[in-house]
Structure 1
Amino acid sequence: MRITHPPRLGALALVLLSLLTAIPALALIVSTGGEAEAHGTPMKPGSRTFLCWQDGLTDTGEIKPVNPACRAAQQVSGTTPFYNWFSVLRSDGAGRTRGFVPDGELCSGGNPNFTGFDTPRGDWPLTHLTSGATIDFSYNAWAAHPGWFRVYVTKDGFDPTRALTWDAVEDQPFLTVDHPPLNGSPGTVEANYSWTGKLPDGKSGRHVIYMVWQRSDSQETFYSCSDVVFDGGNGEVTGIHEPGNPTEPVPGTCAATRRTTGTWSGGYQSEVTVTNTGDVPMLGWMVDWTLPSGQKVDSLWNGAPTYTGQSVMVHNAGWNGSLAPGQSTTFGYVVTGDGGDATASLPCRVG
């Protein structure tokens, strides 16, 4: 892992907050190795989507926000973004910020599924911090991909009741993190990246910590807003409901089945059907498998693939990730090499 610190603001701000009783304690151990992974959102300091998901989670797994700002986000965008709190992304982002993400849409990254989280108001769930403190930061890792983090903070005088624009954000990130280590197993709330660093000096009052996570193997880029107040706090979270159910829910489930649609000497074609098998809507999916030695994917359609040796991971395309419970979509691919598809069922994860 390599962390660079712009000389103007010093090292990274890393936040330690108290986790809710609904979510088991997360590991915050800083390791010395590991592969960075994408699909996720800040947990410390918690992003709007993550804390609103926690705020709205009921004992039955339904989403019924208590926080007024989270309720307002639900009225605009529905409950689907709450179940998909880790998916505030742009598949065409390529790490772009100013001039790409429009003013007033920074918290959604310009992704229309999360428009409700752009609403300017002063009652979002809030993390209390101390300016200049050295603390821990944790970012959920939901699916595997390498990448970088760039962490910004708003300028002095920031007003949370006004639309967040690029003019309100410091020009340079106060921290850049290069492929940080992974703790835990991807596809869970516990999976996270954690490191330590120093918050910017001289900050007081309300601010937003804005993070951009850019994959290094594709254009997919993630955006997030974490509402904070520099008031001498140590990561406490206020303005959030703590549900009584100690069981950690998984935000949706999916299944993937594969069938061979054609074969020939030295190759074959297959189709994979992805189905939302859960009882909540989802905004994205990913399927992975390992090709036998000597095989290679020649072409793939209706999905966004990543290849690492014989390992293949396919994310949804920009238009077929949103699936209601029971709804399905398909992608296909052509392989060169001897042999065929040996497994009809493939691992599938929401994200």
Structure 2
Amino acid sequence: MIMATRDSLTPSPSAARPGLRLRALLLVLVSLLATVPALGLVVSAGGPAQAHGTPMKPGSRTFLCWQDALTDAGEIKPVNPACRNAQQVSGTTPFYNWFSVLRSDGAGRTRGFVPDGALCSGGNTNFTGFDAPRDDWPLTHLTAGATVDFSYNAWAAHPGWFYVYVTKDGFDPSRTLTWDDIEDQPFLSVDHPPLDGSPGTVEANYSWSGKLPEGKSGRHIVYMVWQRSDSAETFYSCSDVVFDGGNGEVTGIHEPGDPTDPVPGECSATRRTTGSWSGGYQSEVTVTNTGDVPMLGWMVDWTLPAGQSVDSLWNGNATYTGQDVMVHNADWNGALSPGGSATFGYVVQGPGGDSTTTLPCRVG
């Protein structure tokens, strides 16, 4: 077993370090709490945030376990004991979908919505294996009170807020994580941070700087909740950390080498018109998992011809920005095995039709 130590969370201002390898598996690759006022540092930036992902600095359980498990051949074979247990409980699909710990009905809810014992999965049963109370999860080493650079992977494009919490003093990672273990208020609140890189890649991320809580020592969990501002979709994550004077080094993960940038699945989307009339038409889109790994969700986006608008849509969750349409899977049709497919339909009002037959599709 090879356990690597890597620097993933650097003190701010960050400085480039000569010799650091560019990696596709970057280790250097939260959340509107609706009923409680957000306290702490608020970071504002021009332009909306655009993401669908998970924390990279400090790395979440799903992200670090994916890194631990991925082999040079692109297979999932966890080495870390906690990650291996997560695979035994939930299978390999969550490792390929490390950026999808979400609830489409979350609406920023936390206490009273996500059950005790299911905080790390957000109550999403696809990720139950990552809720296990253990003291051997991959671990990020930090210094209490330090100002550091955070980053959150941006796999898809959605605006939103990030709220960052930490566990109370005396936290025991070997005991079931409950809401009573989490401090009542976030120590950091981030309003639509800037996006670096292109969504749909491991390298794309939201980044911000903030101060870690003072007076912390020993093992803790940094808990992030991220709510989209354009829908109820909410993301949840646990990052296991230890406040021991570290600068973001990560221990407890296996590093198999330098694999090329892995793609956590591939999909295609084809559109056909199923009916038309004066002033409108109806379409059906078929989404197919064209990759060789299972996936938990998909996204399809396209631009409507000028003068047209979607009047109704079913079997998917849509976001509209002008003529741009983005559709995510519904709760029941996102999980597709290789070769599997799902459909959604919509009705358009407006002149003319749409001759488009192939639409952009992304896993997530």
Contact 1:136-1:196 within 8 A present in 2 as well: yes
Contact 1:180–1:193 under 8 Å retained in 2: yes
SS in structure 2 opposite 1:304? strand
User: Does residue 175 in structure 1 map to residue 177 in structure 2?
Assistant: no
Question: Quick check: 1:135 aligned with 2:129?
Answer: no
1:344 aligned partner:
357
> Structure 1 223/24 Cα, relative in aligned 2: closer, same or farther at 3 Å?
closer
Find the aligned partners of 1:229 and 1:119 in 2 and give their Cα distance. 18
Moved more, 16-25 or 281-290: 16-25
Percent of residue pairs identical: 83
**Alignment partner of 2:81 out of 63, 68, 88:** 68
In the alignment, which residue of structure 1 is the partner of 2:107?
94
Q: Does 1:154 align with 2:148?
A: no
2:25 is matched with: 23
Letter in 1 for 2:354: D
Residues 1-351 of structure 1 mapped to structure 2, 5 A cutoff: 15-16=9-10, 21=23, 23-24=25-26, 33-351=46-364
Cα distance in 2 between the residues matched to 1:171 and 1:330: 42
Q: 1:25 offset after TM fit, Å?
A: 7.7
Distance in 2 of aligned mates of 1:143 and 1:83: 15
Determine helix, strand or coil for the equivalent of 2:253: coil
Which ranges of structure 2 fall in alignment gaps of 5 or more residues?
A: 1-7, 12-19, 30-42
User: Using the alignment, how far apart are the partners of 1:76 and 1:42 within structure 2?
Assistant: 22
Contact 2:44 2:192 in 1 (8 A): no
Residues of 2 paired with 1:67 and 1:19: CA distance?
23
Q: Call closer, same or farther: CA 1:309–1:22 in 2, change over 3 Å.
A: closer
What TM-score comes out, normalization by structure 1 length? 0.93
Three-state SS of the structure 2 residue aligned to 1:157 is: coil
In the superposition, relative to structure 1, how do residues 146 and 22 fare at CA in structure 2: closer, same or farther (>3 Å)?
A: closer
Q: Matches of 1:204 and 1:267 in 2, distance apart?
A: 62
Residues 208-249 of structure 1 show CA distances to partners (whole Å, capped at 9, x for unaligned) of: 000000011111000000000000000000000112133110
Q: Deviations over 1:49-70 (max 9, x none)?
A: 0000000000110100000000
Report the Cα distance in structure 1 between the residues aligned to 2:199 and 2:21, rounded to whole angstroms.
19
Q: What count of residue pairs does the alignment treat as equivalent?
A: 336
Letter matched to residue 188 of structure 1? T
TM-score, normalisation: structure 2 = 0.89
Q: Which residue of 2 aligns with 1:4?
A: none
Which whole-Å deviations, capped at 9, do the CAs of 1:162-189 have from their partners, x for residues lacking one? Answer: 0000000100000111111100111111
Deviation, structure 1 residue 22: 5.2
Corresponding residue for residue 9 of structure 1: none
Deviations 1:136-155 (A, max 9, x none): 00000111111111100000
Change (3 A) 1:305 1:169: same
| Alpha-carbon contact 2:138-2:252 (below 8 Å) kept | yes
- Give the Cα–Cα distance (whole angstroms) in 1 for the partners of residues 219 and 260 of structure 2: 32
